[in-house]
Amino acid sequence: MSRTRNAWVLPVSLLLALLLGLVPLPAMLQPLRPYWLALVLAYWLLEAPERAGLGLAFVMGLLADLAFGGLLGEQALRLVVLAFILDRFRPRLRFFPMSQQALTLGALLLNDRVISGVIHVVLGVPQAPAGTWLAPLLGMLLWPPLHLLLDGLRLRRQ
């Protein structure tokens, strides 16, 4: 039984991840917003590396920079670093149990926060609130359901 891959899932999921980053949240919840774009891109880098790579990470990062109005190139750099690490360790990560994949993604999202903090310090840009350091934990908890959802859409028979 062969599974048909649905080509529309990649662009639609990345667009939805970008839009989820733009959805307004109450000020109290804003620092806890997971980095949806990184989570969705991580899925595609692990499961379909022939369709997603460093170039896609860079382009999506630039689009996110333009959409969110941040420093031009910041998210592009952050996503390229994430993509590089995932690409480098993909053969091992793909076969980790879901709980270990979630822990690994949590560590990568924490690394993303460190990169963002360093960029802001170097450029003299105000730092994000301290609550943003909890967002990688939320991203780690969202990884299993997001992975299962995207797997279901990607592998669904047409």
Query: Measuring CA to CA, how many Å separate 112 from each of 106, 119, 156?
Result: 10, 11, 32
The amino acid occupying position 30 is Q
The pLDDT tens digits for 90-143 are 999 988 999 999 999 999 999 999 999 999 999 998 888 888 899 999 999 999
0.85 exceeded by pTM:
yes
In order of 26, 55, 83, 100, 126, the CA distances from 106 in angstroms are 24, 23, 14, 10, 24
pLDDT-derived band at 1 (thresholds 50, 70, 90) equals very low
Q: Which of 59, 56, 45 is nearest to 88 (CA)?
A: 45
pLDDT-derived band at 2, boundaries 50, 70, 90: very low
d(CA 58, CA 61): 5
Residue type, 133: W
Q: What is the mean pLDDT of residues 74-97?
A: 94
- Copy the structure tokens of residue 94: 């793909």
Q: How confident is the model at residue 88 (pLDDT cuts 50, 70, 90)?
A: very high
Please report, to the nearest 10 degrees, the dihedral formed by the alpha carbons of residues 6, 45, 82, 140 taken in order.
70
Between CA 153 and CA 92 the distance in angstroms is 24
